[in-house]
Structure 1
Amino acid sequence: MALEISDKLNVAGVMAVLVIDRIEHTLPTIESLLEGGVGAIELTLRTPIAWEAARLIKKTFPEVLLGLGTVLTTDQVRKAVDWGVDFAVAPGCNPKVIAEAHQQGLFFGPGVMTPTDIEMALEQGCKVMKFFPAETAGGLKHLQSMAAPYHFLGLQFIPLGGCNIGNAPMYLGSPLIHSIGGSWIAPQKLIQAQEWSQIKNNAAEITRVIREVRSSALV
């Protein structure tokens, strides 16, 4: 199951990172993303209504690939599985949380920024990791250097933190990249302002970029 979700996220190419603080904003946000072609979501657990929003998304849009972000405890992992969430990611690399996710069959991307982080994740059986914070850590150049000693293992990474429409093609063009995550697609300020058309446009733009990068790779 976890491998299947990993494959689906890889095919999607991008996940929209969401911070939703009003439950009534949940469905219009998801509708706008879907209309723009983005069907993979990372809903961060940073607001009081996040869990309620997750349940609403799964009930209303079962086709959405729904992940939770900022998953920091084993209890959150178990709750995510109970609520039917598809995947989870974390900013850091906590072996206990990773182990629980694997035991529960939940696809989980631990956050890595150093070779030590990578080896901690490897010890828990991870082959796909969240590269965070991507841009302030040195971007793709840093990732390429950091991952080079592990090339023979076929690791892949999900960069988050500073990804945007300008650098998305660079990341997506690298074989190291599994998919990318970005809060620029539906940033909190646009959600709060109910700028649904702009969110839709942002989603359509990254969908177009993904299509173009993949088409170029086939030439």
Structure 2
Amino acid sequence: MTEIEKKLDAIKVVPVIAISDASKAAKLAEVLIENGLPCAEVTFRTEQAAQAIRNMRDAFPDMLIGAGTVLNKEQVDAAIEAGVDFVVSPGFNPTTVKYCQEKGMAIVPGVNNPSLVEQAMEMGLKTLKFFPAEASGGVAMLKAMSAVYPVKFMPTGGVSPKNVKDYLAVSSVIACGGTWMVPNNLIDEARWDELAVLVREVAGIIA
């Protein structure tokens, strides 16, 4: 395993965050770290993503930070400049994968069927995002692919407190991505105590 894969394997659940106000990013990172999830995947679904990543990195240099929903070279460059440790994409785009590899940036692209897994393996990738997990067959699909392919998966999309343990019980799952412990309204309204409770609940599930 790479160093990033080891960290993901230890953390088990990656909070997937869409943040609209980068000024709240450092406080959000603090809540995550202090309550047992020292990691964040900040998605490029908002204009504030790059600045939010930068603010988290400045405040917590050792935090594991990924950029999510990365769709093109420009976003890869923005993520790298902001200081991410890894990049996540919802689908498998060979152009984006190759660009990350050229830049020395770890990427976890999305796949949901055997053909995409094989294409990813052909490019030397060993850790893949299974997305959208529940809509693509969930745990049963993961087990079927895991029986054939020597790769690790990070299921995201439909993962919740009700099924996260089922996903983590699959031997090929390195970690799960989820949004339920970082709802947008709690971030927007700076309801940090409530966020802390949700994060602690997740940490308790995976302890």
Aligned pairs (5 A) from 1:196-211: 196-211=192-207
C-alpha displacement of 1:113: 0.6
**What's the counterpart of residue 161 of structure 2?**
165
**What's the counterpart of residue 174 of structure 1?**
170
**What's the counterpart of residue 54 of structure 1?**
53
Q: Which runs of 4+ in 1 moved over 4 A?
A: none
Normalising to structure 1: TM-score of the pair?
A: 0.90
| In structure 2, C-alpha distance between the alignment counterparts of 1:61 and 1:142, rounded to whole Å | 37
Amino acid at match of 2:201: E
C-alpha displacement of 1:85: 0.9
**What's the counterpart of residue 74 of structure 2?**
75
Unaligned runs of 5+ in 1: 212-219
C-alpha displacement of 1:148: 2.4
Normalising to structure 2: TM-score of the pair?
A: 0.95
**What's the counterpart of residue 132 of structure 1?**
131
Matched, 1:98 2:97: yes
C-alpha displacement of 1:73: 0.9
**Percent identity at matched positions?**
37
Amino acid at match of 1:15: V
Amino acid at match of 2:34: E
C-alpha displacement of 1:64: 1.1
C-alpha displacement of 1:146: 2.9
Higher relative contact order (CA 8 A, sep 6+): 1
| In structure 1, C-alpha distance between the alignment counterparts of 2:118 and 2:3, rounded to whole Å | 24
C-alpha displacement of 1:96: 1.1
Mean Cα deviation higher: 177-186 or 18-27: 18-27
Kept after mapping to 1: 8 A contact 2:41/2:67: yes
| In structure 1, C-alpha distance between the alignment counterparts of 2:75 and 2:106, rounded to whole Å | 14
How many residues were matched structurally? 207
Amino acid at match of 1:86: D
| In structure 1, C-alpha distance between the alignment counterparts of 2:38 and 2:125, rounded to whole Å | 24
Amino acid at match of 1:173: A
C-alpha displacement of 1:24: 2.6
Unaligned runs of 5+ in 2: none
Kept after mapping to 2: 8 A contact 1:16/1:183: yes
Kept after mapping to 2: 8 A contact 1:115/1:147: no
> C-alpha root-mean-square deviation of aligned residues, in Å?
1.4
Kept after mapping to 1: 8 A contact 2:13/2:177: yes
**What's the counterpart of residue 189 of structure 1?**
185
